[in-house]
C-alpha cells in the first residue's frame, strides 16, 4: 500500500536522544522544504500555553554555542515495515521456488507486495503483488510486465503460497490449511531467467528502492527459498535460505538458518510475538510455544526510525542548568521548536527538587490522530497562533498507540526517532470552552512555569533516565514532582518510584490516571516503547487473545493493576473515573482539619472551593480522576484532605473498578463515587506523599497571577516537604 500524500510542514524535525547532560551530544534531524537554510537558537521553555487569557507563551534565549545559520535539506519519512536481506546466487540450471505462509489483514485497490526478488536498487527483479485480494506477478525494469494470476488470498485467512520460477514458465499455488485451493501455470515473462540471475536480495511485505513501498498489511511466516533440478519434479531439491519468524521478538533482524551470516533486516519494526497459523489457544506466552507464534505482522504505516541525516549536532555546554529546552528553527517559510531536556550536571550539586518528565507517556500519545481538528479547534489554533500541524492532517510521521493500523489492529509500538507534533509548545488537543485544551508536554509546562514563578530551583529527569538508572537517579533529591499525566511506566521506573518513597523520599504526584499502563522496552532499542492492551482498562483497542506478552522484553503487558502494582501502591491514589475535558473543584474533608494538617491550607479559607477555575477544562479536578483505596495499596500514613464534587454527566467509573455494572471491586471508600481525592501524608521514616488525583490540577496554578488556592496548596506542601526533609548531602555521589 503506497504512502498517502499528506501536506508537508515547511520545517520540522526531531532530536536524538530526547535529553542529555553536560558534555553529551544532541543531534537534531531537520527537514526544510526546498533545502532552505535554517537559523537556529536554543530557548528555555517556561510556559507552552498560547491561551491569551493565561500567562502566554514564555521562553528565554540560552547560549548554546550555535552558529547563526545551518545548511538543511528536505527529508522524507517512509512509512511501512518489511524484512529485507541478501540471498545466495540462484544456480542457472535450477528452478527457484519461494514458499511462505501468509495472512492478509487489509484488502484495498492499492498494490501490496507480498515479496520481491530484486537487486539493490530495484532496477531488476520480480514481485508477487496483492491488489484487492487478487494476486499479480510483476517484473521490474528494464522489461516491466504485470501478469494477473487466477489466484486470490482471502482476508484474515492463512494460506500457503508457492511460486516456482523456471525456464519454461511460472507455477503458482495457493493452499489453505493443507488443502490446495488453486494453482496456475503460465509462460515465463520475457527475460525472467536473466532477471533472476541478477537478483541478490529478497524483501518480504514491500518493494524496496532504498525504502519500503507498496507495503503489505498482514502476517507472514515460515518463508524459504528452494532450488530444484530440472531433471524431474521433486528430485535434487536444495534449500537456499530459510527464516524462522518465531523466537525472540526484540531484535531488528532475523537470521537465515541455512547461512547465519546472512540475515533479514527488519525495517520500521513490524509487530512480533503474534499468533501464527499454528496457534492452538492453549499457550498464551510466545516464549513457551514459539512455533505457535511463528509469524511477523507487517503494516503499511509502521515507522520506527525516520533515519534522517543530522542537520545540527551540539554538545550540551557545562554551564547550562538542568531544565526543559527547545531548538527554535526558522527557514523563512516555516518555523519549529524541537523540545529536549538537559539533565543534571554530574559534576555539580543537584537541586533539591526534580521534575520527572513523563516522556514515555508523551511517546505513547505521539502523533495521536483524534479526528477532532477540523472546525472549532482548527479555528482556535489559527486565532491563537498555536502550533499549526495536527496528525489529523499530517499523517507522514506515523501515529500513536491510541490509533489503529489500516487493518484495524492497534498500534503497539511508538518511537521518538521521528517528528512528534503532539510534543510541541502550543499544541492544542481539544477546543476547550473554559480553557486551553492542552495535554501532555505543553500542559506540563503549567507546572514548570509555576516553579520558576515561585522561585523554586529544580532539575529535570526523563522517564528514560529513570528506566536506565533506577532509583539511584532519584535518591539525591528531597522531592520528586510528576507531570500531569504520568500514565506509562516500565517495571524499572515504577519500582524506582516506590523504592524512593519507601526509602524516605517525598513524592508529589500532580496529575491523574498515572502509573496505569505497563510498557515494554529493550535497552538495545531505547527509542521504542511497546504497549499490549491486555485484559481490562479503558482502551481504544484491545490486544488479541494470546498476544498479551511484549515482543521487546517478553513481559506480560496490560494494566499495572493487573500486574500486581495498582497506582495506589505508588502514589496513594489510582484511576477511578473519566469524562469530558472539563474540570470542577475540591472541598476539604473532615480529616483535613486535624491540627497537624493546618499548614497545608494556610491562607485558604476553610469553606472555600479549591480550584473552581483554571486553563484545563475550567477547574482543578477533572477529565481523568483518581481515588485513594486502602485495599489497593494506599499507604496508611496518608489522609484524604480534599475531594472533588460536581462532575458532569459525561463522567463514568473506569472499567477495571467494576466487577459488574454498578458493583465495585473492593470495599467502600469514604470519598468514593465520581470524585477525585487529594491525599497527603508523612511516613515514620520521613518519606512523604502528596497526590492530587486529577489531570487538570496544574492548569489552575497560574490563575490570577499564581495567587490562588490551588497554587497556595501546592506551595504549602512543597515548602513543608523541603523544610522537613532529612539533612542530605546534595553531592550526587552521596546516596540518600
Per-residue pLDDT of 202-230, as tens digits, reads 999 999 999 999 999 999 999 999 998 76
Residue with the three cell numbers 506540563: 444
Q: Measured in whole angstroms, how far is the alpha carbon of residue 657 from the centre of its chain?
A: 25
Cell numbers found for residue 305: 526510525
Query: What confidence category does residue 251 fall into, taking pLDDT thresholds of 50, 70 and 90?
Result: confident
CATH of the domain spanning 82-298, picked from 2.60.120.200, 3.30.450.20, 2.40.37.10, 3.30.460.80: 2.60.120.200
HSE of 646 in the Cβ direction (CA atoms, 13 Å)? 15
Long-range contacts of 542-547 (CB under 8 A, 24+ apart): 542/410, 543/410, 543/412, 544/274, 544/275, 544/409, 545/281, 545/284, 546/275, 546/279, 546/281, 546/283, 546/284, 546/292, 547/273, 547/274, 547/275
Per-residue pLDDT of 15-33, as tens digits, reads 999 999 999 999 999 999 9
**Considering only 181-185, 229-233, 373-377, which range has the smallest mean pLDDT?**
229-233
> Quick one: what percent of the chain has pLDDT higher than 70?
96
- Domain 82-298 identical in fold to domain 345-724: no
Q: What is the pLDDT of residue 122?
A: 78
Per-residue pLDDT at 442 exceeds 70: yes
Query: What confidence category does residue 362 fall into, taking pLDDT thresholds of 50, 70 and 90?
Result: very high
Query: What confidence category does residue 90 fall into, taking pLDDT thresholds of 50, 70 and 90?
Result: confident
d(CA 131, CA 152): 9
Q: Where are the domains of the chain?
A: 11-77+306-338, 82-298, 345-724
Query: What confidence category does residue 552 fall into, taking pLDDT thresholds of 50, 70 and 90?
Result: very high
Per-residue pLDDT of 625-669, as tens digits, reads 999 999 999 999 999 999 999 999 999 999 999 988 888 888 889
Stretch 121-125: mean pLDDT, rounded? 83
Stretch 544-557: mean pLDDT, rounded? 96
Residue among 339, 334, 422, 330 nearest 373 (CA): 422
CATH of the domain spanning 345-724, picked from 3.40.50.40, 3.40.718.10, 3.40.50.880, 3.30.1360.10: 3.40.50.880
Are the beta carbons of 460 and 357 closer than 8 angstroms? Answer: yes
Q: What is the pLDDT of residue 123?
A: 81
Q: 465: phi > 0 → left, psi -120 to 50 → alpha, else beta; which?
A: alpha
CATH of the domain spanning 11-77+306-338, picked from 3.40.5, 2.60.40, 1.10.3470, 3.40.50: 2.60.40
**Considering only 180-184, 272-276, 602-606, 617-621, which range has the smallest mean pLDDT?**
180-184
Cell numbers found for residue 396: 507522514
Are the beta carbons of 444 and 472 closer than 8 angstroms? Answer: no
Q: What is the pLDDT of residue 460?
A: 98
Per-residue pLDDT at 609 exceeds 90: yes
Per-residue pLDDT at 179 exceeds 80: no
Per-residue pLDDT of 394-425, as tens digits, reads 999 999 999 999 999 999 999 999 999 999 99
Give Cα separations from 515 to 363, 500, 504 (angstroms): 15, 15, 20
Per-residue pLDDT at 232 exceeds 60: no
Cell numbers found for residue 731: 553531592
Stretch 605-616: mean pLDDT, rounded? 97
Stretch 672-682: mean pLDDT, rounded? 97
Amino acid at each position: 500500500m503506497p504512502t498517502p500524500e499528506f501536506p508537508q510542514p515547511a520545517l520540522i524535525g526531531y532530536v536524538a536522544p530526547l535529553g542529555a547532560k553536560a558534555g553529551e551530544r544532541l543531534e537534531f534531524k531537520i527537514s526544510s522544504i526546498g533545502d532552505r537554510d535554517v537559523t537556529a537558537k536554543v530557548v528555555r521553555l517556561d510556559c507552552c500555553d498560547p491561551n491569551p487569557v493565561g500567562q502566554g507563551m514564555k521562553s528565554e534565549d540560552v547560549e548554546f554555542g550555535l552558529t547563526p545559520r545551518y545548511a538543511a535539506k528536505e527529508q522524507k519519512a517512509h512509512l511501512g515495515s518489511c524484512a529485507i536481506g541478501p540471498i545466495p546466487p540462484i544456480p542457472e540450471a535450477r528452478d527457484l521456488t519461494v514458499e511462505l505462509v501468509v495472512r492478509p489483514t487489509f484488502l484495498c485497490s492499492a498494490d501490496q507486495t507480498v515479496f520481491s526478488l530484486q537487486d539493490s536498487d530495484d532496477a531488476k527483479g520480480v514481485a508477487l503483488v496483492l491488489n484487492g485480494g487478487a494476486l499479480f506477478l510483476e517484473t521490474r525494469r528494464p522489461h516491466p510486465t504485470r501478469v494477473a494470476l487466477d489466484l486470490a488470498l482471502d482476508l484474515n485467512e492463512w494460506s500457503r503460497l508457492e511460486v516456482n520460477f523456471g525456464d519454461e514458465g511460472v507455477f503458482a499455488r495457493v493452499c489453505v490449511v493443507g488443502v490446495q485451493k488453486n494453482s496456475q501455470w503460465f509462460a515465463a515473462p520475457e527475460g525472467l531467467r536473466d532477471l533472476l540471475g541478477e537478483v541478490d536480495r529478497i524483501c518480504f511485505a514491500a518493494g524496496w528502492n532504498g525504502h519500503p513501498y507498496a507495503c503489505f498489511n498482514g502476517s507472514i511466516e515460515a518463508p524459504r527459498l528452494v532450488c530444484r533440478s530440472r531433471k524431474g519434479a521433486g528430485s535434487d531439491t536444495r534449500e537456499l535460505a530459510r527464516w524462522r519468524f518465531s523466537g525472540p521478538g526484540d531484535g531488528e533482524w532475523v537470521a537465515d538458518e541455512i547461512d547465519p551470516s546472512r540475515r533479514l533486516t527488519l525495517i520500521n519494526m513490524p509487530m512480533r510475538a503474534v499468533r501464527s497459523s499454528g496457534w492452538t489457544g492453549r499457550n498464551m506466552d510466545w516464549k513457551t510455544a514459539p512455533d505457535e507464534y511463528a509469524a511477523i505482522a507487517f503494516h503499511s504505516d509502521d515507522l520506527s526510525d525516520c533515519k534522517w541525516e543530522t542537520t545540527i549536532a551540539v554538545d550540551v555546554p557545562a554551564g547550562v542548568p538542568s531544565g526543559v529546552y527547545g531548538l527554535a528553527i526558522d527557514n523563512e517559510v516555516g518555523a519549529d521548536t524541537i523540545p529536549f531536556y538537559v539533565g543534571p550536571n554530574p559534576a555539580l550539586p543537584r537541586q533539591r527538587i526534580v521534575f520527572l518528565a513523563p516522556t514515555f507517556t508523551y511517546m505513547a500519545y505521539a502523533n495521536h490522530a483524534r479526528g477532532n481538528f477540523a472546525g472549532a479547534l482548527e479555528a482556535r489554533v489559527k486565532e491563537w497562533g498555536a502550533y499549526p500541524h495536527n496528525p489529523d492532517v499530517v499523517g507522514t510521521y506515523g501515529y500513536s498507540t491510541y490509533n489503529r493500523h489500516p487493518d484495524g489492529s492497534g498500534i503497539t509500538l511508538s518511537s521518538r526517532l521521528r517528528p512528534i507534533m503532539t510534543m510541541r509548545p502550543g499544541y492544542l488537543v481539544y477546543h476547550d470552552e473554559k480553557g486551553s485544551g492542552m495535554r501532555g508536554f505543553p500542559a506540563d509546562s503549567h507546572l514548570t512555569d509555576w516553579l520558576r514563578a515561585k522561585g523554586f530551583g529544580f532539575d529535570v529527569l526523563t522517564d528514560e533516565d529513570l528506566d536506565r538508572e533506577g532509583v539511584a537517579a532519584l535518591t539525591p533529591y528531597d522531592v520528586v514532582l510528576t507531570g500531569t499525566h504520568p500514565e506509562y511506566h516500565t517495571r524499572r521506573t515504577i519500582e524506582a518510584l516506590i523504592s524512593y518513597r519507601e526509602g524516605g523520599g517525598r513524592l508529589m504526584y500532580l496529575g491523574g490516571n498515572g502509573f496505569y499502563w505497563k510498557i515494554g522496552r529493550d535497552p538495545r532499542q531505547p527509542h521504542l516503547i511497546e504497549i499490549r492492551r491486555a485484559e481490562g482498562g479503558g482502551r481504544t483497542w484491545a490486544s488479541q487473545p494470546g498476544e498479551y506478552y511484549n515482543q521487546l522484553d517478553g513481559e506480560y503487558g496490560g494494566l499495572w493493576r493487573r500486574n500486581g502494582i495498582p497506582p495506589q501502591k505508588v502514589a496513594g491514589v489510582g484511576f477511578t473515573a473519566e469524562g469530558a475535558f472539563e474540570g470542577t473543584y475540591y472541598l476539604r474533608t473532615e480529616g483535613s482539619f486535624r491540627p497537624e494538617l493546618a499548614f497545608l491550607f494556610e491562607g485558604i479559607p476553610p469553606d472555600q472551593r479549591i480550584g473552581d477555575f483554571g486553563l484545563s477544562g475550567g477547574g482543578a479536578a477533572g477529565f481523568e480522576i483518581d481515588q485513594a483505596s486502602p485495599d489497593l495499596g494506599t499507604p496508611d500514613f496518608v489522609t484524604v484532605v480534599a475531594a472533588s464534587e460536581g462532575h458532569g454527566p459525561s463522567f463514568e467509573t473506569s472499567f477495571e473498578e467494576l466487577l459488574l455494572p454498578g458493583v465495585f471491586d473492593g470495599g467502600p471508600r469514604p470519598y468514593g463515587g465520581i470524585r477525585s481525592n487529594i491525599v497527603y501524608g508523612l511516613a515514620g521514616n520521613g518519606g512523604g506523599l502528596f497526590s492530587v488525583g486529577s489531570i487538570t490540577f496544574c492548569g489552575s496554578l497560574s490563575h490570577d497571577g499564581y495567587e490562588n488556592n490551588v497554587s497556595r496548596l501546592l506551595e504549602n506542601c512543597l515548602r513543608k516537604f523541603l523544610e522537613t526533609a532529612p539533612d542530605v548531602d546534595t553531592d550526587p555521589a552521596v546516596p540518600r
